[in-house]
């Protein structure tokens, strides 16, 4: 039986320092393979051992599964994830398991093929076109609730699974695993789980600390302080409503500094600027951000915020607002402003005028990118990495950012604030903080002894040439030498006598 092979595999891997399969996972796998069901729907909290446990199941299916592969064909153990990189992590786990078992394999495009057995382990992105045209003996679908189409931002799980299941049709013993921590109750994974056990599938549920006892419930609270996210990600309880605030007042208050007004410019700090333009009812919002050292920690700071408002009777004049923006930018030596796409190209032309002298970078964000920007803001704020001014308008706007649950996952909606604004500062600040990052310096290259010798020789030759040049040109300035003149020496002290 498959479960007997799982136990043997587990003992072999533990002997090679792999973690043991948890009791919950062993019981769940045994129950599934003891049935005649073909699909197992797993709702398990994050860090609950989903990927590592199912990788072991995949190896057993590849090595010992009872699959009649037609001559000339190969059976595919498929790993599906939202990106190829995430799926490829499973492939690294597969290779590590095969190496530990001394099972021989060879690399193929997108995976590995067993030596002497027509079985391949391959990774696929969760797209309709990516899961057609192969013979599947086992499919592991990872974090199904969080699959995203890169263009539309929608969750393609229903369509992808509809395309995937026919690839298992000719394999009587093929199985499919739908594994995920939950989002809401409307996506394909949630609907499959809510169907419960039937003639085709079995379901299993576990919060993180049950599926993986090496992680305590208390430690998951430390990993995720936000109660709503903790319930969803670690307790594996789907979000019940259809809308919720992205940021709590407690998070915003914790991130807010005591000092009001603009922060002064600091030497050695690089500043960034972003804006969300508007002409009539919505506000034209603007901010300056930076990475700064605050209380000994590197934080993304909002150092200045501005807002201009027009109305239906009198619109804002773009050149007037942009001159005000440029004045603030000059105070922080900022010459580039990231902006929303609203009238982006037209505003960019105005900003290039001599009396403004700004370069606008128009950011056309897709729905997934917009959601990622606000999710990053939540993560940074939860980790204590954000520094905000005590501006009541900014606080109201941040509280008005809503996370809306749809059948395709979460999207972001900006509510109208009580004073008639439309959370415009939240838009500018999220964009500004996204860019307030300093890329790390590239590490100095590690030179081989031969390369280091060559570099020292070149520097030595250059020094001697400069000395010779100055002796022959006593009236020349010391910086005239540019290294392009004909060398005055043929052999240096590295290679023999000097001429």
Site of tokens 């003992």:
11
Q: Which residue has the higher pLDDT, 257 or 148?
A: 257
**What average pLDDT score do residues 323-334 get?**
95
Residues 484 and 72: their CA atoms lie apart, in Å, by 65
- Return the SS3 of 113: strand
pLDDT in tens, 293-314: 888 888 999 999 999 987 777 8
What are phi and psi for residue 347, nearest 5 degrees? -65, -35
What are phi and psi for residue 108, nearest 5 degrees? -135, 170
Q: What's residue 486's pLDDT?
A: 38
Residues 164 and 77: their CA atoms lie apart, in Å, by 12
In 3D space, the residue among 277, 304, 330 whose CA is nearest the CA of residue 388 turns out to be 304
Q: Are strands 175-180 and 135-142 parallel, antiparallel or unpaired?
A: parallel
In sign, the C-alpha dihedral spanning 211, 217, 221, 227 is positive
Q: Does residue 92 carry a pLDDT above 70? A: yes
pLDDT band at 477 (very low <50, low <70, confident <90, very high): very low
Site of tokens 């309709």:
128
332 in Cβ contact with 304 (< 8 Å): yes
Mean pLDDT for the chain? 83
pLDDT band at 499 (very low <50, low <70, confident <90, very high): very low
Domain at 2-233, CATH class: alpha beta
- Contact residues for 449 (Cβ-Cβ < 8 A; gap 6+): none
**What average pLDDT score do residues 446-463 get?**
76
pLDDT in tens, 105-139: 999 888 899 998 899 998 887 766 666 678 889 99
Q: Which residue has the higher pLDDT, 287 or 458?
A: 287
Q: Which helix (H) or strand (E) holds 313?
A: none
Q: Token pair for residue 291?
A: 């990475």
pLDDT in tens, 165-199: 888 888 888 899 999 998 877 788 888 999 999 99
**What average pLDDT score do residues 250-260 get?**
91
Q: Does residue 60 carry a pLDDT above 50? A: yes
In 3D space, the residue among 351, 304, 309 whose CA is nearest the CA of residue 328 turns out to be 304
Q: Which residue has the higher pLDDT, 444 or 488?
A: 444
CATH 3.30.420.240 fits 249-435, yes or no: yes
What's the DSSP call for residue 40? E
Q: What's residue 15's pLDDT?
A: 92
Q: Does residue 145 carry a pLDDT above 90? A: no
Domain extent listing, the chain: 2-233, 249-435, 448-499
What are phi and psi for residue 341, nearest 5 degrees? -75, -5
In 3D space, the residue among 406, 386, 384, 410 whose CA is nearest the CA of residue 398 turns out to be 386
Q: Token pair for residue 278?
A: 């508007």
**Burial class of 121 by CB neighbour count within 10 A (0 to 12, 13 to 18, 19+):** buried
Q: Does residue 479 carry a pLDDT above 50? A: no
pLDDT in tens, 341-353: 878 888 999 999 9
pLDDT in tens, 374-421: 889 988 998 899 999 999 999 989 988 888 776 666 778 887 765 666
Residues 401 and 413: their CA atoms lie apart, in Å, by 6
| Percentage of residues of the chain with pLDDT beyond 70 | 85
Q: What's residue 483's pLDDT?
A: 44
**Burial class of 377 by CB neighbour count within 10 A (0 to 12, 13 to 18, 19+):** buried
What's the DSSP call for residue 438? P
What's the DSSP call for residue 70? P
What are phi and psi for residue 466, nearest 5 degrees? -65, -45
End-to-end CA distance of the chain: 84
In 3D space, the residue among 427, 424, 436 whose CA is nearest the CA of residue 393 turns out to be 424
């Amino acid at each position: 039986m498959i479960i007997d092979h799982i136990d043997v595999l587990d003992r072999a891997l533990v002997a090679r320092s792999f973690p043991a399969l948890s009791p919950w996972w062993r019981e769940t796998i045994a129950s599934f393979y003891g049935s005649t069901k073909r699909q197992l729907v797993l709702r398990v909290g994050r860090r609950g051992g989903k990927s590592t446990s199912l990788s072991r199941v995949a190896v057993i299916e590849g090595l010992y599964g009872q699959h009649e592969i037609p001559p000339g064909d190969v059976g595919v153990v498929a790993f599906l994830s939202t990106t190829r990189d995430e799926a490829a992590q499973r492939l690294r786990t597969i290779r590590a398991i095969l190496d530990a078992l001394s099972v021989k394999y060879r690399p193929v495009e997108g995976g590995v093929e067993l030596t002497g057995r027509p079985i391949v382990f391959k990774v696929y992105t969760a797209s309709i076109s990516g899961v057609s045209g192969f013979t599947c003996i086992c499919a592991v679908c990872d974090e199904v609730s969080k699959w995203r189409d890169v263009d539309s931002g929608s969750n393609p799980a229903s369509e992808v699974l509809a395309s995937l299941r026919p690839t298992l049709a000719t394999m009587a013993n093929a199985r499919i695993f739908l594994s995920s921590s939950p989002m809401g109750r409307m996506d394909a994974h949630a609907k499959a789980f809510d169907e419960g056990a039937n003639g085709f599938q079995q379901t299993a549920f576990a919060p993180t600390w049950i599926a993986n006892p090496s992680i305590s419930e208390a430690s998951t609270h430390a990993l995720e302080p936000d109660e709503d996210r903790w319930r969803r990600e670690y307790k594996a309880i789907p979000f019940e409503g259809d809308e919720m605030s992205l940021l709590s007042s407690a998070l915003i208050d914790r991130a807010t500094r005591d000092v009001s007004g603009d922060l002064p410019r600091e030497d050695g700090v690089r500043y960034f600027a972003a804006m969300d333009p508007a002409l009539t009812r919505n506000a034209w919002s603007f901010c300056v951000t930076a990475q700064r050292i605050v209380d000994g920690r590197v934080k993304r700071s909002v150092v200045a915020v501005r807002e201009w408002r027009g109305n239906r009777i009198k619109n804002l004049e773009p050149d007037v607002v942009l001159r005000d923006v440029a004045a603030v930018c000059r105070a922080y030596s900022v010459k580039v402003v990231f902006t929303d796409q609203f009238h982006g190209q037209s505003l960019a032309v105005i900003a290039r005028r001599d009396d403004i002298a700004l370069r606008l970078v128009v950011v056309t964000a897709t729905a997934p990118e917009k959601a990622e920007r606000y999710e990053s803001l939540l993560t940074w704020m939860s980790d204590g990495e954000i520094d905000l001014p005590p501006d009541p308008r900014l606080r109201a706007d941040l509280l008005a950012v809503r996370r809306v649950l749809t059948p395709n996952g979460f999207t972001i909606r900006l509510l109208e604030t009580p004073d008639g604004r439309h959370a415009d500062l939240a838009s500018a600040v999220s964009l500004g903080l996204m860019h307030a990052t300093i890329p790390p310096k590239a590490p100095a290259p590690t030179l081989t002894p031969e390369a280091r010798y060559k570099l020292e020789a070149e520097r030595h030759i250059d020094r001697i040439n400069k000395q010779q040049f100055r002796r022959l040109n006593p009236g020349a300035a010391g910086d005239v030498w540019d290294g392009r003149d004909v060398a005055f020496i043929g052999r240096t002290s590295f290679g023999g006598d000097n001429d």
